Structure 1
Amino acid sequence: MSQSSLVRTPKPNLTYRLVSSLLVFPVFRLLFRGSTAGNNRVPMQGPLVVVANHGSHMDPPLLGHALGRPVAFMAKAELFGIPLLGRVIRACGAYPVRRGASDREAIRTATARLEEGWATGVFLDGTRQSDGRVNNPLPGAALLAARTGAPLLPVAICNSHRALGSGRCWPRLVPIQLRIGDPIPAPSSRRRPDLDAATALLQERINALLDQGPQHP
């Protein structure tokens, strides 16, 4: 058994449970007729790198509250200075990254979260994509896994780009589904060919999940 698998996974605190039950789930389940598929594939203990496509600002809370375990995300440091919002997002596992901070600093911060036993969320393209697919994947998720030994979990967020994609000011109430794939082992090394191979596999798995069945309302 690897050392990373022995790390105790943090339990959801009261604020996290309240945000899930009173805000995220009603919006996801009722307004967007949300559903998940493949929750049995989510490792419930130990560090985990959750890797997804990115089509909407709704993606972090949906991904962070629909897998059955908390998922930590990077957030702009300025948000933590807002009294109520800062407390809520910190309680939900968000961690601050300073504006203009280097990629190396962000990787160190995310690595620390994984070493604490968190599931850490990464959007493979880094930014929202107008078509909701993985188009230009970055190696950050694979590097995090290689540094910590954490497995990679591909997740497809279907239709969020249609619900509230770039340029939309008001949500369109289309069904949103999260489709969870099989975990992928961490790359065997931090060498660029190994990171690139894992990144390409994640892109292939997530886009394949997006292509499974109809996504339109």
Structure 2
Amino acid sequence: MNERRKSLAGRGSDRSGPAGCGDAVELRRKAEREILCRRREGFCRFARAFAALSLRPFFDLEVEGTHHVPGEGPFLLLAKHQRWEDIPLLGLSTPKALYYVAKVELFSHPVGSWVLRSLGGVPLNRQRPLESRRYLKRLVGFLQSGEGVVVFPEGTYYPQCMGPGLSGMVRLVLGRLEVPIVPAGFEYTPTGRRTRVAVRFGPPLQPPFPAIDSLMQEIMHRIALLSGLDAPPAPHP
């Protein structure tokens, strides 16, 4: 009995860092332990209609190049990340529902987690990517079944400028399954009380791909051009 009490005490004290940090870590781990389910199509349709109604007073949406988004078969969609509205506006712009890779912290609250997962959100722990292995496995499973997956390669918001292209998720996916990569850009232009936003999709890059560094340089170059931003130097052929 004493040994059991010691064991239980040891489990309860297995936290590092100041008070509060252990709780945050545990919330992230709990989110990662939850079952990764397919999105709920009925809820996606409701969310799409709600987003269109909610965003209409603030944005004039223009969509270009939707024919570059595959209607069938798997693909990665790598998009510019200007602001939080990118996600619902992207959902309104694509002809089919997609899955989205998002930071695991967004899944910590039970209600928020249910909403994100129902909309196709896939959690990723950027600080500890190896802890997201089983989510990556399911993500590859979605691709193998013909789904499209959105990745924001900058990892966070970079308004009106280009951030660095983070290759981690792309590298992990392409190491298991080579699929077309569709670049996408957002260009926001204030026009009085409303904002014109152009969502542009470029021609997909097709496998076989070059080395990951050259591939990411080319992708970020295309995303910048689609976003109306100064593009980094194009890679040498």
TM category, shorter? 0.7 to 0.9
Check if 1:122 corresponds to 2:151. yes
Unpaired runs of 5+ residues, structure 1, are 1-9, 164-171, 213-217
Question: TM-score, with normalisation over the residues of structure 2?
Answer: 0.67
Structure-2 separation of matches of 1:142 and 1:78: 20
Q: After the TM superposition, which residues 49-128 of structure 1 pair with which residues of structure 2 at under 5 Å, given as runs? A: 49-77=76-104, 79-80=106-107, 82-97=109-124, 100-102=127-129, 105=133, 107-128=136-157
Structure-2 separation of matches of 1:117 and 1:134: 30
Is contact 2:102–2:122 with CA below 8 Å preserved after alignment?
yes
Is contact 1:33–1:174 with CA below 8 Å preserved after alignment?
yes
Unpaired runs of 5+ residues, structure 2, are 1-37, 230-237
Whose Rg is larger? 2
Deviates more, 1:96-105 or 1:43-52: 96-105
Check if 1:198 corresponds to 2:230. no
User: For 1:186, which of 193, 207, 215 is the aligned residue?
Assistant: 207
Aligned to 1:5: none
- Give the secondary-structure state (helix, strand or coil) at the position aligned to 2:196: coil
Is contact 2:100–2:122 with CA below 8 Å preserved after alignment?
yes
Structure-2 separation of matches of 1:21 and 1:151: 29
Aligned to 2:62: 35
Structure-2 separation of matches of 1:211 and 1:80: 32
Deviation at 1:21, TM superposition (A): 1.0
Question: TM-score, with normalisation over the residues of structure 1?
Answer: 0.73
Is contact 2:39–2:119 with CA below 8 Å preserved after alignment?
no
Is contact 1:145–1:187 with CA below 8 Å preserved after alignment?
no
Pair 1:100–1:138, CA change in 2 (3 A): closer
Deviates more, 1:172-181 or 1:105-114: 105-114
Taking only the aligned residue pairs, the percentage that are identical comes to: 25
Structure-1 separation of matches of 2:124 and 2:206: 27
Pair 1:16–1:147, CA change in 2 (3 A): same
Pair 1:134–1:107, CA change in 2 (3 A): farther
- Number of equivalenced pairs: 188
Q: After the TM superposition, which residues 147-158 of structure 1 pair with which residues of structure 2 at under 5 Å, given as runs? A: 147-158=176-187
Deviation at 1:96, TM superposition (A): 2.8
Check if 1:137 corresponds to 2:165. yes
Deviation at 1:146, TM superposition (A): 5.0
Structure-1 separation of matches of 2:180 and 2:68: 12
